[in-house]
Amino acid sequence: MRPSPRPLLILAAAIAAVALLPGVARAADEEPRIPDVVTSLSGRDVRVETRLSPGLPAEVVKRLASGLPTTAAWEIRLFVSREHWWDGLRDERRYDVTATYRPMSGDYGLEKRLDGRLMETVVVPSREEAERALTTLPGIPSFALGSELAGKRLVVRVRCLYGSGMVLGVVPTRTGTDWRRSPVFVWRGEGEAP
C-alpha cells in the first residue's frame, strides 16, 4: 500500500517553516537605517527630508511607552562634493525631536529643536504619531546658501542618533544609523532651482 501524500506535505511545510524562521527573526531585529536623503531648493534655502526604516528599535519604543522622554537627534551636514579629494564640510545642523508621555491628558508632547533652539512644541494624541515624529526628518530649511557656493557641486549627509548606552560601565555612547548621502546637486544662484 502506498503512503498518503498528506503526512509528507505536512512534514515539508514544517521543514520550510523552520528554515524560514531565522530570516523572520533577523527581519524583526533589523537595525534602523536611512533609505534615502531628499534635498530640495527653495530660493537660497536647502531643505532636507528623510526617514528611518523600518522605524525605531524595540528598546526605544519601550522607552517611549514607559513615559520617559525619548529623543531622536538628526545630524545634517552640507559638503562641497569633490571627485578626487575628501568632501569639504561647509555647515552642519542638529535637529532634535523629544517625545514625552503626559499621563494627566494621555497624550504626547513633542519638542522640536534646531541647533538647540526651540522651533515648535506640539501635542499629538497617540504613541504612533509620536513615533512617526521621531523617525521622520521633515523638509525643514536646513542651510542658507551664499554666493561662494553658487555653481559648486553640493551634497548633504544625514544620520540619526536614537539611543544611548555605556561601554565598560563608564564610557557613554550613542546608538544611531550610518551616514547617508544625498545625490549631488548644484545651486546656480539666487532663487534658481537645481
d(CA 39, CA 58): 29
User: Is 194 domain-assigned?
Assistant: no
Q: What pLDDT band is residue 8 in, cutting at 50, 70 and 90? A: low
Q: How many domains does the chain have?
A: 1
User: Is 119 domain-assigned?
Assistant: yes
User: Is 154 domain-assigned?
Assistant: yes
User: Is 191 domain-assigned?
Assistant: no
User: Is 12 domain-assigned?
Assistant: no
User: Is 176 domain-assigned?
Assistant: yes
- Looking at residue 49, its pLDDT comes to 96
User: Is 112 domain-assigned?
Assistant: yes
Domain extent, residue 97, equals: 29-186
Average pLDDT of the chain? 84
User: Is 143 domain-assigned?
Assistant: yes
- Looking at residue 2, its pLDDT comes to 57
